[in-house]
Copies of this chain bind each other. A is one copy, B any other.
Amino acid sequence: MIRICSLLSSAILLLSACDVRSQQSGKEPMQIITQGSFAVGGTKLVKPGNFDVQKALEPAGQTLHGDHAYAFYQVPVNAKKYPLVFLHGAGQSKKTWETTPDGRDGFQNIFLRKGYATYLLDQPRRGEAGKATVGAELATTYDEQFWFTQFRLGNYPDYFPGVQFPKDAASLEQFYRQMTPNTGAFDQNVIADAISKLFDKIGQGILVTHSQGGGPGWSTAIKNANVKAIVAYEPYSGFVFPKGELPAPIKSSGLFGELKGAEIELSDFMKLTKIPIVVYYGDNIAKEPTKIWNSDHWRSGLEMAKLWAATINKHGGNATVVHLPEVGIMGNTHFPFSDLNNMEVAAHLADWLIEKKLDR
């Protein structure tokens, strides 16, 4: 029996030759060697005093573990050397990278099928990593038409012409429901500390960030040399420059006003010049200043990204900014990886990983 099992197992390996068909039909099973989840990083606080089991509802002497990240990982058969570690953006969780609002495969499944191990994070104080060392007051906020516009589905209630977002009500509802609140204040250092601990645990890998995750992404790569590359989708805030090289703030009619970079030590900045970095932006971003605030908000982000990449490269680095419409990929929102054309967006990233020899 064991002999038969062994032979069959070998046969499975041959199935990798069927990858092309697999991706077309989506019906071949994914071969997952192992999957699971864990908390990583974080802080432990202790209340002064001595714990008395007969007064167990009193805090004296009790602990509070918080500010860790949560990771769900999957490793496919014959996984490539570097796993992809995915960090969501503001108001999001690892759901960002899973099923799209209209029910198609997100980057989680797409890159598993391409042979990459995946780690999907809930950052500290978000989602299943909700336990925090700081309190929070959660208010009910009516803001979904703002997010529709901010995230460039269109100018509510109008979708942008040709936008790569499904226009049925059920998909939009899924999109709204995938937001989930902070359970403690956003803190870039707390997040970068936890993700750095993740890279201590798993070893070398590639960090893929979205939006607000960009800032913690750069910080993580500065902290931890196990970050072998960064892929950043639509970062806005958090761009770092060497002391003395900070560009002027970029004015914008966006609702968050002008966009500033931040100064760091040159020695830290130089760590970002040692790894390949690609930064992606979608469509409907203005080329010149405009009063259309969503379009202008992301114009300031894209302009800052270009200044930043130029600074990286001036110091000997290897950073590329890809404005997707300029390479013929049209109509993307702030979430290119879950848009209707996300297979095309993924293919562009896969090619970049091959070009940088990160796909071995």
In the assembled complex, A162 has its CB within 8 A of some CB on chain B: no
Tell me whether A27 and B33 are in contact in the complex, defined as CB-CB below 8 angstroms, given that A63-B144, A129-B180, A140-B64 are known contacts. Answer: yes
Closest to A134 in B: B140
Stretch at the interface among A15-23, A244-252, A324-332, A345-353: A15-23
Say yes or no: A98-B36 contact (C-beta < 8 A), given A53-B149, A138-B132. Answer: yes
Q: Is A186 an interface residue (CB 8 A)?
A: no
A189, CB-defined interface residue at 8 Å? no
Cross-interface CB contact of A21 among B2, B47, B155, B178, cutoff 8 Å: B2
Give residues of chain A (250-299) contacting chain B, Cβ–Cβ below 8 Å. Answer: 255, 293
Chain B residue with Cβ nearest A182: B130
* A19 closest partner in B (C-beta): B5
Interchain CB contact under 8 A, B138 and A137:
yes
Does more than half of chain A's interface fall in helix, strand or loop, or is it mixed? mixed
Interface range on chain A: under 10, 10 to 19, 20 to 34, or 35 or more?
Answer: 35 or more
Closest beta carbon of chain B to A29's beta carbon, Å? 4
Report the bound CA distance from A347 to B51 in whole Å.
38
Q: Is the CB of B144 within 8 A of A64?
A: yes
Residue numbers in B under 8 Å from A122 (CB-CB): 128
Contact with B along A44-67 (1 / 0, CB 8 A): 111100010100110101111110
Interface positions, chain A 167-197, Cβ under 8 Å from B, are: 173-174, 176-181, 183-184
Q: Taking the complex as formed, is A93 at the interface, i.e. its CB lies under 8 A from any CB of chain B?
A: yes
CA distance A355 to B360 in the complex (A): 48
CB-based contact B61/A109 at 8 Å: no
Q: How far is the CA of A149 from the CA of B61 in the complex (A)?
A: 14
- Residue pair A8, B5 in contact (C-beta under 8 Å): no
Q: Complex Cα distance A25/B99, Å?
A: 31
Task: Give the complex CA separation of A341 and B144 in angstroms.
Answer: 46
* A14 touching B18, Cβ below 8 Å: no
Binary contact readout A151-166 vs B (1 if CB under 8 angstroms, 0 otherwise) = 0000111000000000
Is A344 an interface residue when CB atoms closer than 8 A count as contact? no
Among B65, B106, B183, B293, contact of A176 (Cβ-Cβ < 8 Å): B65
Q: How far is the CB of A311 from chain B (nearest CB, A)?
A: 32
Q: Which of B5, B21, B36, B255 contacts A57 (CB 8 A)?
A: B255
Q: Kindly provide the distance from the CB of A142 to the nearest chain B CB, expressed in whole angstroms.
A: 4
Q: A95-B37, A130-B183 are in contact. Are A145 and B62 (CB under 8 A)?
A: yes
In the assembly, what is the distance between CA of A85 and CA of B262, in Å? 47
* A141: contacting residue among B35, B42, B64, B103, CB under 8 A: B64
Among B95, B134, B149, which residue has its beta carbon within 8 angstroms of that of A128? B95
CB contacts under 8 Å to B, within A105-151, are: 105-106, 109, 122, 126-146, 149-150
